Structure 1
Amino acid sequence: NLLLTLGAEPILGRNFLPEEDQPGRDHEVILSYDAWNDLFGADPKLIGKTLMLGDEPYAVIGVMPRYFHFPPTVPVMAAFPSKVAAFWAPLGLTVRPEQRDWNMLGVVARLKPDRTLVQARADMDFVARGLQQEYPGQNHDIGLRVEPLLNQVVGDVRPALLILLGAIGLVLLVACANVSNLLLARSTTRQIEIAVRISLGASRSRLVRQLLTESLLLAFAGGALGVLVAYSGTFLFRALSPDSVPRLGEIAINGPVLAYTFAVSVMTGIIFGLAPSLGASRADLTQSFKGDGPRPTSTGKHSQLPSTLVVLELALSLALLIGAGLMLKSFLRLEQVDPGFRLQNLLTVWLALPEARYRMPQQRLAFYEQAFQHIQALPVVKSVGAIDDLPLSGIHGGGPFTIEASPTESDVSAPVAYRCVVSANYFRTMGIPLVQGREFTERDRDGAPVVLMINETAARRYWPGENPVGKRLSFSTGSTQPTWLAIIGVVKDVLHDGLDSPAKPTIYLPFLQAPQEFMVTVVRTGVDPSSVVSAVRGAIAAVDKDQPLLMTRTMADIYSDSAAQRRFNTVLIVALGTLALLLAMVGVYGLTAYAVTQRVHEMGVRVALGAQRWDVLKLVLSQGLAVTLVGIGFGVAAAFVLTRFLSKLLFHVPRHDTVTFV
């Protein structure tokens, strides 16, 4: 009933029936719209036909709507180029009720109208405590977290999008201030026209309405042009956006966007056209007909408004540019992070062995050992290794463990670490240095003493000031007969969750003692790794011709994608900051040029009285410099306040970074 709980219905076929969620039933599957369209040409006759998923036949019973994606996209899983499901099948086909350590399911619930999130959390905490008491061996330190589904969909991206929206708003204000200054300048040149209208009986309100209408027409023209640019820009935006931006495919110019654009155009046209309209409607008839209307001088409200608008432009653009500088510096710091391994010439090959053919550990072991041998035999391959949880993928398993001879206290939580299964040649293939002890070898297999390795973070946290090699630990927490595993080596830290997430305590187990169905084979090559994909596929087909490759990606691409969201944010904010600065520069130039044209008569008098060319130049520059300095002062002050919203997006850069402000 997951789809019913979500309120989603297939556009073709039907939903799952309650009795289909039982073990032993026939296999049914519902397709995503993209899978139906891309793989089967949107064939409406596909309903009722049988597909082979892995080694199992599935009957197609439905197709979901185009924009239905569940589970939501997972931003941290940088290894996957596509993070949306293509098929849905009843859980009853794969669940193993006898296993109580399979605690990786996510439950979706719809709250009753009279219940709150706080109450739901309290209820589920009670359930979790009950499971811990009933199954202390398996549910020790296993809890439940209740979160709104919306947070799962947009939680990680919402702050960045809100900041980008704010930055765009600042650019809009700068542009509107520029337009307002242009309207002020134009109203000054129309003094005679306005004076004639007043003398013919036009009321002040009539003049204000006319000038506001002209301002609104300008705003509508700008809004219409903006919609046209945005229409073509959405394609570029989708192409540049990382996959971690949720609901990316829904970005379009639609009714709400047009209504929003219309509303913004009306507001900007009225707000920024009001001051020029009111100023122009106060024209002095006598001075206007004499051709001696108001001229900007160093005093007077009429002359101060253009300068005030330019100060506003400079302040906003400088605040935005400082934010862009902080983001850029943060991204450069992120690019300098050492992931813990060598990226160059590294190919990843994702494999999942079907349980029907590889149910026994010996079968999995035989497949992977033969596959490694065939890949290693390729002339361009230097070494081959494998791991179940690839670095930078955001995928990891783990849990609590017990340290031998370590005192346990009831109020102290058990030590916790990520847990990875790796092949004997994995660390050498990845270029992960050994710090202490030894690496896994071919002798660390079933029947030999059970061993493990740890990373530096685990060594520092759980064996501070000690040599952990030779120490023993057990994953059988709460058991009276624990199985102890000896630490044989310590390796350098590797980043698993992303470049901006520090290394966590990690335990490595030998693949030969714990063969898995799902493994990522890493291949170190002497050439461009993407050029050997077909050869690697052929090597795997030589072992099992029916075994598909889930995915092949270079480690350099995975590394790049792990920083994609920050790169995207940085590029947009730097572009907006640069645009705002250019607009502010145009504003300063426009103010200075307009002031010069209005003071030509005054400058002529000064020259006639003996002023030198440099004196006149200083007069002009002093006005522009004064406005600039005031704008810089307000901009720095605004940046001190506004950069606090950037704190969550910065990486190892303080929000009041002195170098960036200078």
Structure 2
Amino acid sequence: MPHAPSTVRVAVHALRALRRTRGFTTAAVLTLALGIGLAAAVSAVADALLLRALPVREQDRVAVLWAERRDGAFAHFPFTLEDARLFVRDARSMRGVAFAAYEGARPAAILDDGGVTRLRRAHVSGDFFTVLGARPLIGRALGPSDDVVGAAPVVVLSHAAWQRHFGGDPRAVGRTLRLHADGVAHTVVGVMPPGLDYPRGTEFWAPLVPGKAVPGTDSVFAHVDVVARLAPGATIDAARGEVTAWYAQHEGPAWLSELRGVATPLPRLVLGDARPAMLAFAAAALLLLLVTCINVANLLLVRGLSRARELAVRAALGARRGRIVGELLVEHALLAAAGGALGAAVAFVATRAFVALAPAGLPRLEEVRPGAGALLGAAAVTGVTMLLAGVAPAVLASRVDVQGALRSGARHGAGRGARRLRETLVAGQVALALLVLAAAALIGRSLLNLERAELAFDGERLLVAELALRQDAYDTPAKQRAMLTQLLPAVRALPGVRAASPVVAVPYAGSGGWDGRLEIEGQSERDAAASPLLNMEVVAPEYFATLGLPVTRGRAFTDADGEGAPPVVMLSERAAMVYWGDADPIGKRLQMGPPQARRTFTVVGIVPETRYRDLREARPSVYFPLAQSFFPFAPSTLVVRAAGAPAQVAPALRRALAETAPGVALASATPFETLREAPLAQPRLNALLLAAFAGAAVLLAAVGLFATMATTVRQRTRELGVRMALGATARDVAWLVVRRGLVVASIGTVGGLAGALAANRALAALLFDVAPTDPATLAAVAIGLLVVAALASLLPARSGARVEPVTALRTE
């Protein structure tokens, strides 16, 4: 009995076999590398953004609580600090409780070498990090003794801010951050570990009570969310129910009793909008990996069946089936190893590309890096792919009819069963490719719709400037408004400036804007409680000219609408419809404020809804004139219409501030188009990555179809020759092959469409102005995939059409 070949001899034989079929070998390795590399890259990203735990003890036991209107008019209603303390005093579902300021991470101006820079600050209570169970990387966390009026001013840095602004220097602990607002130096006492990104975007945490204390008093005014660690056995629903029950018994306006509780797990708040996108990427990667496995299995099956005569000769010479299968598996293992090695390189490049293209606000982005995780993922996927793509083709290829193979030669393997198996695999590839392609097309259409969304104003040549005010110079809203009144003429007189106006917040600032409620004059308390919360702005008369926002009815504000004049207000069209439907709103009256200080406003003008605050939604808005403002704040942001490039106005604006408004610094000056990129960044990344997955899936499906059709032509050479001998033209033969390819692709397309109709509903959160089952998009995707299938079948068809009948008939 012949002895078993050594491992070296088997490997050498496998390498020679791979070299003889280097076309299939190259296609299989590249297919493996592409599928494994992209899947491993997504695995690395998903691990950092979704799977890796936060640096928080038992993160799923931490929830953040607030309230919401039942009608959805106000989705995030915070506690006052006083109410929050009363609520947690009797709460039973919570073991530890802390508070975080409702506005989240807001920009704070920091004095830096004579200039001003911005860091995003979050005010939190002294037991915040204790409740989270988060330990500092260096130094210490905030404590209760830091969170009292009169405590020494201290801050804790985020890991990202420590790396970016202090170069990761451990000696940053003990250094100071001097705030422009009050000139007070805050000592850095600690640095938190990477991944702790709550509130979202925080660069440093400061104590809540000192930061929110009313100057000159011991009182504190703050709106907060409750950060709670659930008690043993307590659930999120129990905490939510306690908030609802507390507001139901709350003394105050009747509408407060209609609020209901919201309880959100901390990991969901940290991940935010990244979670649905990452789940979509993970699903696309899984589908691509399935396409890869099917494609490799199909290629190896075709390769194995094309070697039927060789295997038959070896079997006739005494080779056992186990030996043949073993050698084929070694060949496939070498293919998988080569594909895995190249796939690791693809994973490295893809991960780096993801980090480079990711939007700046993506949480935990600094933790996404190509490393051991991606390589181990590539190795694991390689092993699975080897089993899926190697065992079955090896067994099928080894089960040859020796006598039949020796007699039929090249025609062996052209049996109907083998052909149907290959075509079934290709149809499956097409179906999976269509699933990914449909998702990518919907995300792409959504991005186009968002980029083309009607703003209702002209964002070109618009500069948004944030001002940093010293508290000692501008400690009252009246002083702030007086400064703006004096500053605006100086800004408008600058060369290159056409118009300027204050605004409440920068565009797309999220919770940084202002929501408020107006009521119709004489309206009952219950009806007034049902009035929605609207976006509110405090503006100068030039605001509408500055933005290029047309007044559709009535008039805009004028200089006559000053202090002492009858209070007036302007509404957006939808805001007017909220109060009076289709009736003419001009001259109608609205009220605002507590009964003892209620003001009545006359509506003087109507403007369209804008997408200034939220790009996805045109918000109903209310506009008040700056000179008549009675609110306990004044705007600290300017919008400036430039004659040329907006950025060129910034130096002159900085000089005007120094000359006209001492104690006011230019914290930032950003063109509107740059700010508009922020809400577009995540949708663009979604579209780009899904397009890459879709392109790879379609390419692999086309390769699979091409290989199947090429094999079919080669194995049906005699049949095609007979057809041409009997009068069939080259065009008839070519159409025969293309038609078969289209039939296979059509079957896969129908299956893919059925799957897309069901699966695309999961994309609803990522879409804008397009339905998950949009028929036009799905039809375009299906037609495009069939066109690719026709092109993939065309080359084999042309090869079949060039068959010489006499040569084909002599083949056997």
The aligned runs of 1:126-205 (5 Å cut-off) are 126-130=245-249, 132-133=250-251, 135-136=252-253, 144-199=261-316, 202-205=319-322
The answer to whether the 8 Å contact 1:402/1:473 transfers is yes
Alignment pair present for 1:67 and 2:194: yes
Distance 1:184 1:579 in 2: 21
Residue 384 of structure 1 pairs with residue 485 of structure 2: no
Offset, 1:41: 4.0
Counterpart residue number, 1:508: 623
Task: Provide the rounded CA distance (Å) in 2 between the counterparts of 1:146 and 1:393.
Answer: 23
The structural deviation recorded for 1:220 is: 3.2
Give the letter aligned to residue 334 of structure 2. L
Q: Which residue of 2 aligns with 1:79?
A: none
Given candidates 2, 9, 14, the residue that maps to 2:135 is: 9
Give the Cα–Cα distance (whole angstroms) in 2 for the partners of residues 64 and 5 of structure 1: 17
Aligned CA distance change for structure 1 residues 96 and 139 (closer, same or farther; 3 Å): farther
Q: Is the 8 A contact 1:315 1:634 kept in 2?
A: yes
Stretch deviating more after TM superposition (506-515 or 608-617): 608-617
Q: Specify the code of the residue in structure 1 equivalent to 2:248.
A: R
Q: Which residue of 1 aligns with 2:485?
A: 369
- 2:232 maps to amino acid: P
| Structure 2 equivalent of residue 77 of structure 1 | none
Output the CA distance in 2 between the equivalents of 1:142 and 1:426.
35
- 1:121 is matched with 240
Work out whether residues 386 and 423 of structure 1, in 8 Å CA contact, stay in contact via their aligned partners in 2.
yes
CA contact (8 A) 2:195 2:367 kept: no
Q: In 2, distance between residues paired with 1:99 and 1:588? A: 76
Q: Report the secondary structure of 1:292's partner residue.
A: helix
Contact 1:296 1:595 in 2 (8 A): no
Q: Which has the higher contact order (CA 8 A, sep 6+)?
A: 1
Length-normalised TM-score, structure 1:
0.90
2:147 to 18, 21, 24: 21
The answer to which structure has the higher strand fraction is 2
The structure 2 residue matched to 1:428, chosen from 545, 561, 574, is 545
Q: Structure 1 residue 99: deviation in Å?
A: 12
Which SS does the other structure have where 2:713 is aligned?
A: helix
The one of 328, 338, 345 equivalent to 2:454 is: 338
Match of 1:441 in 2: 558
Deviation at 1:113, TM superposition (A): 2.4
Paired residue for 1:76? Answer: none
Contact 1:353 1:518 in 2 (8 A): no
SS in 1 for 2:609: coil
Structure with a larger share of its residues in helix = 2
Q: 1:354–1:517: 8 Å Cα contact kept in structure 2?
A: no
**Unpaired runs of 5+ in structure 1?**
74-83
Task: Provide, for residues 24-59 of structure 1, a one-character-per-residue CA deviation record: whole Å limited to 9, x for no partner.
Answer: 222112223343343344443343344311223234
Given that 1:72 and 1:246 are in contact with CA atoms closer than 8 Å, whether structure 2 keeps it comes out as no
1:483 maps to what in 2? 599
Cα offset, 1:345, TM superposition: 0.5
Q: Do the aligned partners of 1:352 and 1:517 also contact (CA within 8 Å) in 2?
A: no
Partners of 1:550 and 1:191 lie apart in 2 by: 75
**Can you list the C-alpha shifts for 1:46-88, whole angstroms capped at 9, x where unaligned?**
4334431122323424232452443343xxxxxxxxxx22222
What is the match of residue 418 of structure 2? 302
**Separation in structure 1 between the aligned mates of residue 613 and residue 322 of structure 2, nearest angstrom:** 63
1:31 aligns with 2:161: no
Structure 2 stretches lacking a partner, 5+ long: 1-126, 780-812
Shift of 1:204: 3.5
Matching of residues 398-417 of structure 1 within 5 Å: 398-409=515-526, 413-417=530-534
Using the TM superposition, give the Cα deviation of residue 607 of structure 1 relative to its aligned residue in structure 2, in angstroms.
4.7
Which residue in 2 is equivalent to 1:257? Answer: 374
Task: Please state how far the C-alpha of 1:273 moved relative to its aligned partner.
Answer: 2.1
Residue 773 of structure 2 is matched in structure 1 by 656
Q: CA deviation at 1:439?
A: 2.2
Report what 2:714 is aligned to: 597
Of 76, 83, 104, 2:223 maps to 104
Kept after mapping to 2: 8 A contact 1:396/1:496 = no
| Secondary structure class of the residue paired with 1:106 | strand
- The alpha carbon displacement at 1:164 in A equals 1.9
> How far 1:521 sits from its partner (Å)?
0.4
Partner of 1:81: none
Cα contact 1:494–1:503 (8 A) shared by 2: yes
* Counterpart residue identity of residue 458, structure 2: R
* Bigger shift: residues 361-370 or 605-614: 605-614
* Pairs within 5 Å for 1:576-615: 576-607=693-724, 612-615=729-732
Residues 558-612 of structure 1: CA distance to partner in whole angstroms, max 9, x if unpaired?
2232222222212222332233222222222211112222233444455556654
TM-score, L = length of structure 2: 0.74
Q: Deviations over 1:517-559 (max 9, x none)?
A: 5522001011011222222222222234653323221111222
CA distance in 2, matches of 1:495, 1:614: 57
**What whole-Å deviation, never above 9, does each CA across 1:607-658 have from its counterpart, x for those lacking one?**
5566544444344333323323322332333322322222332222233333
Cα distance in 1, alignment partners of residues 400 and 653 from structure 2: 82
Secondary structure at the aligned position of 2:445 is classed as helix
The whole-number CA distance in structure 1 between the counterparts of 2:171 and 2:203 is 18
Q: Secondary structure at the match of 1:651?
A: coil
Per-residue deviation, 1:193: 4.2
1:527-542 superposed matches below 5 A: 527-542=644-659
C-alpha spacing 1:640/1:47, structure 2 compared with 1 (3 Å):
closer
Asked if 2 retains the 8 angstrom alpha-carbon contact of 1:176 and 1:272, the reply is yes
Q: Percent identity?
A: 35
Query: Contact between 2:305 and 2:413, CA under 8 Å: does it hold in 1?
Result: no
The offset of 1:282, in angstroms, is: 0.5
CA distance in 2 between partners of 1:635 and 1:204 (Å):
38
SS state at 1:405 partner: coil
- Work out which of the residue numbers 570, 586, 598 in structure 2 matches 1:469: 586
3-state SS in 2 of match to 1:568:
helix
Provide the residue aligned with 2:365 in structure 1.
Answer: 248
CA distance in 1, matches of 2:221, 2:590: 21
Structure-1 separation of matches of 2:344 and 2:324: 30
By how many angstroms is 1:497 displaced? Answer: 4.5
Which shifted more, 154-163 or 140-149?
140-149
User: Which of these residues, 296, 314, 325, is aligned with residue 441 of structure 2?
Assistant: 325
C-alpha separation in 2, matches of 1:425 and 1:187:
77
Would the alpha carbon gap of residues 546 and 389 (structure 1) be closer, same or farther in structure 2, given more than 3 Å must change? closer
Matched, 1:359 2:475: yes
Determine the C-alpha separation between the residues in 2 that align with 1:661 and 1:44: 55
Q: Counterparts of 1:42 and 1:567 in 2: how far apart (Å)?
A: 31
- 8 Å Cα contact 2:291-2:433 kept in structure 1: yes
Segment drifting more, 177-186 vs 369-378: 369-378
Structure 1 residue 211: Cα displacement: 2.6
Alpha-carbon distance between aligned partners in 2 of 1:411 and 1:449, rounded to the nearest angstrom: 23
- Contact kept in structure 2, 1:402 and 1:476, CA below 8 Å: no
**Equivalenced residues, count:** 647
Counterpart code for 2:285? I
The 5-angstrom pairing of residues 638-653 of structure 1 reads 638-653=755-770
2:554 and 2:346 map into 1 onto residues whose CA distance is 61
Pair 1:569 & 2:696 matched? no
Question: How far apart are 1:93 and its partner, in Å?
Answer: 0.7
Distance 1:278 1:365 in 2: 83
Helix, strand or coil at the partner of 1:146: strand
Counterpart amino acid of residue 460 in structure 2: Q
CA deviation profile, 1:258-299 (whole Å, cap 9, x unmatched): 3333222222221122321121121122233446366354x5
- Cα distance, 1:72–1:228 mapped onto 2, change above 3 Å: farther
Displacement of 1:2: 1.0
Q: Write out aligned runs for 1:271-290 (5 A).
A: 271-290=388-407
* Matching residue of 2:341: 224
Contact 2:149 2:218 in 1 (8 A): no
Asked if 1:558 is matched to 2:675, the reply is yes
Alignment of 1:396 with 2:516, yes or no, is: no
